Amino acid sequence: MWSHNHWQQSLYGSGCKAGERLAKYAEVFHTVEGNTTFYATPGIPTVKKWHQATSDHFRFTFKLPQAITHQNQLVHCDQLLADFFSTMAPLEDKVGLWKIQLPAQFGPTALPALEKFLKRLPSHYPAGVEVRHPAFFAKGEEEKQLNRLLVEHGVNRIIMDSRPVFAARPNTEAVIDAHQKKPKVPVHAIATADYPMIRFIGHPDDASNDAFFANWLVRLPQWLRDGKQPYLFIHTPDNNHAPELATRLYRLLQQKVTETHLPDTELPKAEPDPQITLL
């Protein structure tokens, strides 16, 4: 996600070369979603470059390849998984979460496959599961089974908050595209393990996000008080202004954490690049 070309006009500046973007990104933000691994596993030299470009405190969250999660749906993929982890090994100490994003057709009948898969994951690998099947959002026994399974294995349930973008009128190409591609699912703010992850899909109008973010200003400090380390990723319909929105919402979170008297070490200070224009 750090290679978004539009950010050359804001986050990176015109003089920043493509190969320098990750290092520049890591000067401003503490973590990143690595979506490219869903489509193709990078080469080991590339993985090593990513490690060199970031500090010891920076954290990646990488999606498992679609061959594992979507094509095989977690079945008969031991070798695929081993090969992927072997390639990504140079970054092992900087991975905050391995993301298991499952397709909408992966429903309750597939839970045994998920359980077997989680048992095969290295126990020291933090993992998160993102589900999209309607049954897992119905607050019935099937969702309870999923949550119990995740709690039992210490795996985080990834939370999609797409309310802001779906509240936007579909009057631009970016919003229309987002409405077609983003899942419209209820927000179940549950922490099944120590690294809850929120994917917040923002409204194109900056101020319109505040009402939707208000609950997270309560929930995130509570998780910090409970000793958890949440991950928060901010998107916009086309992601062109995601860095500005992320910085703005992070400052609101900092203010809330200060009000709740959490130690400074619980929430790193934001160091936005001066080239970002905050709205």
Per-domain boundaries in the chain: 1-155, 158-279
Residue 9 is predicted with a pLDDT of 86
**210: part of which helix (H) or strand (E)?**
helix 210-225
Q: In a 3-state reduction of DSSP, which class is residue 63?
A: strand
Burial class (CB in 10 A: 0-12, 13-18, 19+), 8: middle
- Among 147, 148, 101, 99, which residue's Cα sits nearest to residue 127? 99
In the chain (279 residues long), the average pLDDT of successive 10-residue segments reads 89 90 94 94 96 97 97 96 97 97 97 97 95 97 98 98 97 96 94 97 95 96 94 95 94 88 56 39
Residue 278 is predicted with a pLDDT of 31
Residue 271 is predicted with a pLDDT of 52
* Rounded Cα distance, 131 and 101, in Å: 7
pTM: 0.91
Residue that the structure tokens 């099944």 belong to: 192
- Among 212, 206, 227, 190, which residue's Cα sits nearest to residue 276? 206
- Residues with Cβ < 8 Å from 74, sequence gap 6 or more? 68, 100, 102, 110, 113, 114, 116, 117
1-155: CATH homologous superfamily?
A: Protein of unknown function UPF0759 (3.20.20.410)
Residue 274 is predicted with a pLDDT of 34
- Among 110, 130, 236, 140, which residue's Cα sits nearest to residue 185? 130
